[in-house]
Structure 1
Amino acid sequence: MSQSTVIRWVVIVLLALFGLWLVTATEWVEIEVDTPRKGEALQNEFFALERLARELGARVEKQQTLDRMPPPGAVLLLESPYWDMFPERPAKVRKWVEAGGHLVLAASALQNDQITSWVPVKGEKRPPKPKDAARARKDRDDPCRDVAERSGPGLADAGSYRVCAWPHWQQLNLQPAAAPPTWQVQGPEGIELVRLPVGQGSVTVYGPRSLLNNGEVVRTRSDHAALVARALQVERGKLLWVVPDEARPPLLLWIWQQGWAAVLLGAFAIAAWLWRGMVRFGPLGVVPPLQRRSMREQVAGTGSFLQHHGPSALHQAQVRALQETARARLPGYALLRGRAAVERIARATNLPASELETALVSRAERAPLAADLELLELARRRLHLSTSHYASQP
């Protein structure tokens, strides 16, 4: 036998021994692992329940508020903890049930006095029971139990279910004046689910915690799906309303939906007010020149206006303005008098001295002419702008 053959047989024997040890030293068991939720199931805790009801032929509507009641004969699963935030809600729900509606409530809703005033089911503290340590540990780790269903007149036995949802922390009992229930599920520690007639409708109260949630409805090795269908009275063509919460649109969105016209008008008014009061960093248009009027228009208009009130005052003001400008612009002008002063202005402005002298003289027998005022204003402006430009060189 060759060396390679010996090595091959040794490897085969070692593998066989390892396989034998693996089989005898380990134990293979099945472990149930929950599939992670995804899609709508992440946001909707009752997605599995709604899917189950639709598969059984029921019509399912999910509502975010209880502003209006479902049609008569429908089933209302009321899970919202804030359903009674408005005072008129309890009376509306009771009236709807008495008219033929079917209400489904969790046992935790029995803490509300407005419910217990007309729903004859109450939660009471469970009596203590002596248990050995092994039984207590089993009950704590494994909540699964067998429950019996009873329905019809006299609550005859109608079957049994395997329930693995944790029971309610209180024991459900019927009030003394309660009408006989039409459907009931009895567990080892008392009533688990019960349905009682109220007027022409009914109220179903379920105790097991999270029985209707996604993880429990599809739980394997239990009869939760069948029990949920019986609790909700799911039938082909029947309407099921699910109200998981009392949700309202955001305030700004609600204001826009209810009064968009007022919002637009208010926004326009605020924008106009801000635009009118904002600081301006420049003119709205091109700045016109300071002397945009012609000299003729200015002098003729002023003379026409003041001619009716005192032309002498206008002439004196024009002469005084020319004299002040000459004293400011012409060196030594303040010392000149008479003809010398007129000739100095005439040389500086390149205007005829004789016409300036005539325009400067105030005659009482006649009003100053517009031409005199125009000449005096022309002389003043030439002096003011640039005396060197118009002055004659000696």
Structure 2
Amino acid sequence: MSGARRLALAASGLALALLGAWLLGQLHPYREIVERGPTPQARANPYLAAELFLRRQGLEVQRASGLEALAAPAGRPQTLLLLGGREHMTPRQAERVLDWVAAGGHLVFVAERLWDEKTGRSGDLLLDGLGIQQHLSADLAIGEPRDGDRRRAELARFYVQNERTPAYLAFDNAFHLYDSRHRAYAWANSGEATHLLQVRHGQGSVTVLTDAWIWENGEIGAHDHAWLLWHLSRGSQVTLIYRVAGDSLATLLLRHFPAALLALALLAGGLVWRASLRQGPPLPVAGPARRQLEEHLRAGADFLLHRCGQACLLQGLQQDIRRRAGQRDPGFAELPEEAQWQLLARFARLPAGHIGRLMRPPGKALPAADFTRQVADLQRLRNAL
């Protein structure tokens, strides 16, 4: 190799090395966080973060679908969080919840209805039972906050005994709670209205909120929302009910019309007994000579037909045909459906279209004549294999 060529190769190698060093100098590692949105569990449960937060605080939390899980308070304190809709709550259910509170429970719920001055009630069974009214803040003559306090006045302030600094909570300022019986011992106020009231009821207590969105997945981490949830639930067993369903039709009928249901049951029993009476003399017992193999086969086929319908019998024949075809051609099961029909047509020397009609999954029930014809064709196909 000549000296000029060696010099050119050395220069090329040096240039590649310098280029590589420059490229490595331009590369900088970095971390990128890809937001994939909430999980399906979080989308299905807006209070999933609140539930997990309480469990991490060492509290025993259970989720229930109705008031059936409500047990009488005994021994350990219990807190019931009613965070969902109560539009179908019945008076009996509301009375049961308030009786549970009077026995020593702690109820936390969201006010759902506005106070109606004309009717003297709101229609919210729990609010009316406790004498608490909810109004629109715009309907109240509440003074505007001072400019220096305007930003914080948008947040409700909740003071705890022996604490100088309040907890700040972002309630919706459009609503205001009013204790008409003057029993409240704690509250949270903003510059616009009162958003949280705590009252005694029997041996228990009730916490009423204007809204619970502060505990939803996207808001529980803001301000002092998580602290308030812990403060209301601390030291107790927590039950979360997201929706209260009304009584079922059967429950209402049994409660209000027990005599009518009993009469209806007796009438139905009488009709069944009347229909079960024998019509005419009993048939003589068939002798053993009549019980032939053909009768057993027919009886078995009739039983299957009435038990699982035509599809059961047709599928049994089709599976038997596939099994026999697999014995003649071991690769039959791996073939596509059209290829299987072609192979069956070659084995049985029948048109492939006819085979396809016979081997398709059974659809709706066929007339007796068509069903008999299809069974006969399937049997001939099976015998041809």
TM-score, normalised to structure 1's length? 0.47
Mark the structure with the bigger radius of gyration.
1
TM-score, normalised to structure 2's length? 0.47
